[in-house]
Amino acid sequence: SAGIGFAIPVDTVGRIVPQLIRLGHTVRPGLAVEVLADMYSRQVGVDGVVVARVQKGSDAEKAGLRGISVTSDGERILGDVIVAIDGKPVGNFDELVNTLEKYRVGDTVVVRCFRNKGYVDLRIRLQRVE
Domain boundaries of the chain, sorted by first residue: 29-129
Express each pLDDT in 102-118 by its tens digit: 999 999 999 999 998 89
Q: Which residue intervals of 1-130 are DSSP H helices?
A: 10-23, 38-44, 59-63, 93-100
| pLDDT at residue number 46 | 82
d(CA 9, CA 17): 12
**What global pTM score does this model have?**
0.80
- End-to-end CA gap in the chain: 31
Fold classification of 29-129 is Pdz3 Domain (2.30.42)
Express each pLDDT in 35-93 by its tens digit: 998 888 788 788 899 999 999 999 999 999 999 999 999 999 888 999 999 999 999 99
